Amino acid sequence: MRDHITGAVQFVSNNHLKFDRPAQPIEALPDPAETFGHVNKIQAQPSAKEVLAKLDTPEIKARCADLLSRYPVGQGALLEVLWLVQGVFGWVPTEGIRWAANVCGCAPAHALGVATFYTMYNHAPKGKFLLQFCRNISCTIKGAPSLIAYVEQALNIKTGETTPDGLFTILQVECLGSCGNGPMMLVNDDFATDAEGDNLTMKPGTTLTKESIDRILKWCYAHENNMPKHDVLGGMVKGHGGHPGAPGATAKPQVADYAPPSPVLNVKAEADETGATLTWKGAPEFTKIVVEKKSGNDWVAVGEPGVKDKAFVDAAGKVGDEYRMIATSGERVAKPSNVAVTTQKPAPVEEKKV
């Protein structure tokens, strides 16, 4: 079958029919979305100037310096810097992504890929109260779909939409990690199953109900102008020295000898007719191991097994002899291992045949 097709193609390509035309430059045709209509609303983006004006504050600069000092490569701070942008605007405008990329020293296209990969970065402004409802399995079992329908009806918007007054946006999200309280929700950054006085609460054993949703919405209306404000990165930590080598970091690399050198562990000695056989557990960094045997009150070196060896035989060993091992790692000599008293090697157990 395929030979036949190949043959046909060769036949066509070898004939000299002139069904071609002179080279014609292809102009880009109009965007079909312009003809048929866009599926999604195109978000108007603020200009670079506006974005930079808002981001060029001493506080943001200090935060960026703190973040960059934490990672050996600037790109590591990308997610956190994008959070800072979202903290300022409530969403990440395109120019904000470019700014974040410049701060972290990576390509803007890379930052775009990152900003669109993670779902918590908003690419369009959201309402003042972002209501995120968990729709995952545990919450669904406990009736999340009907509660979401209730909120949609109460606010007269669908999931993903914002109320005309710009107060609420409803989102359905995947597991919020509070299944024990399911169904539950996030109001901006606060977990909530209820509202009490000035606070949103999620007490153990409580779940979201229609009544508690009403209370939460009431709380939202009451706090329209005095929303509890969270730092997008949960506040700054003072006192850290950053990552060694990062810009602005004062930290020095870990010294190799902060911990005592490793001793030989789990030394056991068993004697049979060939002498005493020592087994032990050694660390990979050992450079030398010395086996010592107790003779009177002194320890006498009896051998030096290789660092990769699994066992050592002291031909003169017998039951009751005491052994210990001393390991050296590089220049450092470790404390002696436990003292192993030689025991009689048990007779090999014959394997039962099945």
Partner 1 sequence: MAETVKVCTQNFGKGAQDIEVYKKLGGYANISERLFNMSQFELIDYVQRSNLRGRGGAGFPTGMKWSFVPRGTGKPVYIVVNADEGEGGTFKDHFLMMEDPHRLIEGLIIAAWALGSRAAYIYCRGEFLPCIESLNKALNQAYAAGYLGENIMGTKFCFDIFVHRGAGAYICGEETALINSLEGQKGQPRLKPPFPAVSGAWKSPTCVNNVETIMSLPWILQHDPSEYAKMGTPRAGGTKVFCISGDVKNPGVYEAPLGTPMMTMINDYAGGVVGGKLKAVLPGGSSCAPLTAEEAAVATMDYECLASMKTMFGSGAMIIINDTHNMVDLLNCLGNFYSHESCGQCTPCREGTGLLHRILNQIVAGNGHDGDVELMQSLCGGFGGVTICPLSISLGGPVGSYSAKFRADFDEYIAKNPDHAKPRIQETSRPGIFW
Partner 2 sequence: MSNFYNMPKLPTESSPKVEIFVDDKAVMVPGDTNLLEALKAVGIETPHVCYHPYLPVSGNCRQCLVEQEGPRGRMLVISCYTPVTPGMKIYTPASSARVKNARKATQEFMLVNHPLDCPICDKAGECTLQENYMECGQNESRLRPEYGKNYHGNPAHQFVDAKGQVRGGKHVDIGPRILLDEERCVQCDRCVRFMRSIAGSEQLQLAGRADHTYITTFPGEKLDHEYDLCVTDVCPTGAMTAKYFRFQKRVWLLSHTPTVSMDDSLGANIWLDHADGRIYRVMPRCNPEVNRSWLSNTSRLAFQEFDKNRLPSMDIESYTFSEGKVALVAGGSCTMEDLAAMKLLKETLGDRAELFGGTLLKVNAPDGIAKSGDPCANRAGMKLMGFADVADLVKRASEFKTLVTVNADLFGEDPATAKPLEQINSIIALSAFDNATAKKATIALGVKHWSEVQGTMVNSLNMVQKLNACPVCPDGKLWAAYEILSDMAGKKFASAADAFKKATEYVPAFAGLSYDTIKSTGKLLEGGNA
CB of 51 to partner 2, least distance (A): 13
Q: Which residues contact 335 (CB under 8 A, 6 or more apart)?
A: 260, 261, 263
Q: CB atoms < 10 A from the CB of 48, how many? A: 14
Return the range that interacts with partner 1 (CB under 8 A); candidates 31-39, 209-217, 260-268, 292-300: 260-268
Return the range that interacts with partner 1 (CB under 8 A); candidates 13-21, 53-61, 71-79, 271-279: 71-79
Q: Residues 201-230 vs partner 1: string with x where CB under 8 A?
A: ---xx------------------------x
Cis peptide before 183 (omega within 30 of 0): yes
Task: Name beta bridge partners: 40.
Answer: none
Give me the torsion for CA of 286, 290, 294, 300, rounded to 10°. Answer: -150
Q: Which residues contact 303 (CB under 8 A, 6 or more apart)?
A: 290, 291, 312, 314
Length of the chain counted residue by residue: 354
Q: How buried is 73 (Cβ within 10 angstroms: 0-12 exposed, 13-18 middle, 19+ buried)?
A: middle
Give whichever of 37 and 235 is closer to partner 2, judged by the CB atom: 37
CB of 40 to partner 2, least distance (A): 4
CB of 255 to partner 1, least distance (A): 5
Subset of 97-136 contacting partner 2 (CB under 8 A): 97-98, 106-110, 112-113, 116-117
CB of 14 to partner 2, least distance (A): 8
Q: Does 29 bind partner 2 (CB under 8 A)?
A: yes
**CA distances for 353 relative to 276, 346, 347, 348, angstroms:** 30, 20, 18, 15
Give whichever of 192 and 302 is closer to partner 1, judged by the CB atom: 192
Subset of 303-332 contacting partner 1 (CB under 8 A): none
**Residue selected from 45, 136, 159, 172 as contacting partner 2 according to rule CB under 8 A:** 45
- What are the residues binding partner 2 (CB under 8 A)? 2, 9, 12-13, 16, 18, 20, 23-26, 28-29, 31-33, 35-40, 42, 45, 94, 97-98, 106-110, 112-113, 116-117
